Each structure stands twice: as C-alpha cells, then as structure tokens.
C-alpha cells in the first residue's frame, strides 16, 4: 500500500523479490492503493506489482487485490461508480487485471461493505447513516460470473462484521456459489475486536483472518514513542490513521514496549509474534517501506512467545482493551 507514494517502482520490486526469496508467496494489494489514496496516485501500487509480476512464475504466487466500495468519497476511482453492482465490479476487476498484467487473481476481496457499517476508526453502528445500497445477492452473482470465467480463483471480504460474514455465507449457499474464504480485518495488540464475535464465525465456518495493520500503523514498533518525529505515515500524512488517535493508545503502546524490553524482545517481535501466532490468524499482512524493515518484520513473525509473555499480554489487554478499534 506504500508503493507509488512512499516507494518508487524499483524499491517496490526490490521488496517483492526479497519477500519471495524469504518464502513469502502471498501478496495483497488494492485498486485504491497507495494510501492515503489520491486521484494522482490511485492504481500505482497495482501497476508496480504488475510490472514485477510479469517477470515471475505466475503459478508460484498467490495474488490478492480488492475492489473499493462506496461511501468514502473516492469519486476519482471508476468515475465515482463505486457501488458493488455487476457492471461496477466487472469494471473494477478488469482494471486491476490490466494493471497487474495477469489474467486472474487468486483472491478478490470487497475492500469494505457496500452498506453502512462503522469503518476505519469508527466503532459505533449508526442507523442515521443508512443509505441506498446494492443487495448482496447482486454482488455475489457478479463475483460468481468472474469465478466461472476464471478471472478470480477465490473471493473474500474485508472490514466486515459478523452480520456481513454470516449473510454472505447464507447467500452463497442459497445461490450455489463458492463461499468467501477469508476476511481481511484489522488485528493487532491494539485491536482485538475480531475475537469478540468474528473469531467464532470464522472458526465454525472455516474462514481465514487476514490480519492487517498488525503493527498498528507502526505504533507498536515504539518508534514514535522513542522519537515522536520518526518518519512514517502518522507523521507524513496529518490526520491519517484516525483509529490510532484515541486516548488509551499511547498508554497501551508504552505498556507493550515495556513488556518487550523486560523479556529481551523488540516491540516488533512482540507485536508480530503475537499476531502471527494466534490460532485465528491465517496470514499476517505486512506493509514495509524498505527491504531492511521488511526483513526485520519477517524475522519477527517467526517469534514464538512464551506462556509467560502471553499471560502478560492478556494483563495489558485487560487494562487497555482494544484502544484502537
């Protein structure tokens, strides 16, 4: 999601190649990337991934991308036709395939629901924000056409709620369509809301959590605690990351950083060791701006936390439950 904004095409290719060398084979992007999304840069991330992908053995890579939805004011994407209608979804997918220079994606995701739901730092459902939406049956029918055409191999949801996941499952079964295989939601030491209702749904329905923001926009590395002016999205783009501008976030970050230091771990090892080791996580989605940072993150994902550390994490979680929902 940084490619095309914080990273050049050459830097993007270097990161992708390094990741592949390290055994990573799952790459996730979106039509609206890089972030923060702007008319001048939208689509660049897919373009950079595509120019790298054409030099690789396609069947060795599991490629995911996402279709932007309505309600976010991104009217420069697809000329503002963002609702999940049949025509809009086909247009979105064809645009992504062209930029990615491939004839299929392994996982196609709805970036957020078409309907009114709390998103990206909002945490209350507000009936007053209801709007006209595309019936989910229409959206699933369009995805079914793309599945049958071979343009996508699997489909998934993102930024979803228990109601949304269960409704998608029910409709897929009723319409004799493949079920969603994954949900890409925020999950980290600062945001474990997945565990409240979605964890049971995913467990019983065999759906993987693709955990995004496992480092909480870099906050869980403690770099901003050590240097408030440290380079990163929170400094570069003012007002970006509203989810993390909440009263208990700094206290929770400090508590986790202190725990890591006491256990001889880096804050990154604590955060990524936690996320990658959870039973409910199918994959941890990392976003790095350099090969060096990516290498540190990949090594940290292999960290196995002891029962003592996990118990201490629970104590902090109880003191500061989900400070960045």
* Residue 247 located in a structural domain: no
- 51 falls in which pLDDT band (50, 70, 90)? very high
| Burial call 83-105: b when 16+ CB within 10 Å, e when fewer | bbbeebbbebbebbbebbbbebb
Residues with Cβ within 8 Å of 130's Cβ and at least 6 positions away in sequence, in order, are 116
Q: If pLDDT is split at 50, 70 and 90, which confidence band does 210 have? A: very high
pLDDT (0 to 100) of residue 235: 59
Task: For residue 111, give the CATH number of its domain.
Answer: 3.20.20.100
Q: What is the mean pLDDT of residues 151-179?
A: 98
- Chain length of the chain: 325
- Out of 33, 187, 244, 320, pick the active-site residue: 33
Structure token digits, residue 184: 């890409």
On the question of pLDDT at 241 being above 90, the answer is no
pLDDT at residue 224, rounded to an integer: 75
d(CA 86, CA 96): 16
Query: Per DSSP, what are the bridge partners of residue 45?
Result: none
Residues 289-315: what's their mean pLDDT?
A: 97
Give the pLDDT mean for 36-55: 97
Count: domains in the chain = 1
Flag whether 257 is in a domain.
Answer: no
Burial of 247 (0-12, 13-18, 19+ CB in 10 A): exposed
Q: Cβ distance 166 to 200 under 8 Å?
A: no
325 within a domain of the structure (yes/no):
no
249-264 residue pLDDT tens: 999 999 999 999 999 9
312 found inside a domain? no
Residue 137 pLDDT > 70, yes or no?
Answer: yes
Mean of all residue pLDDT scores within the chain: 95
* Residue-range definition of the domain harbouring residue 41: 9-180
User: What's the token pair of residue 211?
Assistant: 């955990």
Burial zone of 314 (CB within 10 Å; 0-12 exposed, 13-18 middle, 19+ buried): exposed
Residue 283, SS3 per DSSP: strand
- Known catalytic residue at 108: no
- Whether the CB-CB separation of 270 and 256 falls below 8 Å is answered with yes
What is the mean pLDDT of the segment spanning 259-276?
Answer: 98
Q: Is the pLDDT of residue 234 over 80?
A: no
Beta carbons of 140 and 170 less than 8 angstroms apart: no
Q: Give the span between the Cα atoms of 64 and 54, in whole angstroms.
A: 15
Residue 225 lies in a domain: no
Paired residues of 158 in beta bridges = 184
Domain presence at residue 232: no
Kindly state the percentage of the chain with pLDDT values over 70.
96
């Amino acid at each position: 999601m940084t490619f095309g904004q914080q990273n050049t095409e050459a830097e993007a290719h270097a990161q992708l190649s390094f990741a592949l060398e390290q055994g990573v084979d799952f790459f996730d992007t979106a039509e609206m990337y890089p972030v923060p999304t702007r008319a001048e840069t939208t689509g660049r991330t897919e373009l950079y991934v595509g120019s790298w992908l054409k030099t690789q053995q396609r069947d060795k890579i599991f490629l995911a991308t996402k279709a932007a939805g309505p309600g976010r004011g991104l009217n420069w994407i697809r000329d503002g036709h963002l609702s999940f209608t049949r025509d809009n979804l086909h247009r979105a997918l064809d645009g992504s395939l062209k930029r990615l220079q491939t004839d299929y994606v392994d996982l196609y995701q709805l970036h957020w629901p078409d309907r009114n739901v709390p998103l990206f730092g909002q945490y209350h459902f507000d009936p007053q924000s209801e709007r006209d939406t595309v019936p989910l049956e229409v959206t699933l029918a369009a995805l079914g056409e793309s599945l049958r055409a071979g343009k996508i191999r699997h489909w998934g949801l993102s930024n979803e709620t228990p109601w949304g996941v269960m409704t998608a499952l029910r409709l897929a079964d009723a319409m004799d369509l493949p079920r969603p295989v994954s949900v890409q939601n925020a999950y980290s030491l600062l945001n474990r809301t997945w565990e409240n209702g979605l964890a049971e749904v995913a467990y019983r329905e065999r759906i993987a959590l693709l955990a995004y923001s496992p480092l909480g926009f870099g906050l869980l590395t403690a770099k901003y605690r050590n240097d408030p002016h440290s380079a990163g999205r929170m400094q570069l783009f003012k007002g970006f990351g509203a989810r993390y501008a909440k009263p208990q976030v700094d206290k929770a970050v400090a508590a986790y950083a202190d725990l890591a230091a006491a256990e001889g771990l880096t804050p990154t090892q604590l955060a990524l060791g936690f996320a990658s080791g959870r039973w409910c996580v199918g994959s941890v989605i990392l976003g790095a701006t350099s090969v060096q940072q990516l290498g540190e993150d990949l090594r940290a994902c292999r960290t196995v936390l002891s029962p003592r550390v996990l118990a201490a994490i629970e104590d902090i979680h109880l003191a500061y439950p989900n400070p960045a929902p």
